[in-house]
Amino acid sequence: MAAPKVAATAGLVKAENPNFSRARIITHLQQTADDLGKNGHDEYFGHGLVDAHNALK
């Protein structure tokens, strides 16, 4: 179920920020995700849980 949520959030971010490149959208989603587990990127949770609300602030 993660892929549809990430794709939808990426689409919303692109709609709000049409000048964002693909790489910038990825970085933005990573930076605005809810961190799970250890601080930062980790083996089990990656960058965390996508947070659409936070990504669109």
- The residue type of 15 is A
**Contact of 51 with 34, CB cutoff 8 Å:** yes
pLDDT class for 1, splitting at 50, 70, 90?
Answer: confident
Q: Model pTM?
A: 0.87
Kindly indicate the confidence band of residue 12, based on its pLDDT and cuts at 50, 70 and 90. Answer: very high
User: Taking a C-beta distance cutoff of 8 angstroms, is the pair 52, 9 a contact?
Assistant: yes
pLDDT (tens digit per residue) in 17-51: 999 999 999 999 999 999 998 888 889 999 999 99
Please tell me the distance from the alpha carbon of residue 56 to that of residue 46, in angstroms, as a whole number: 21
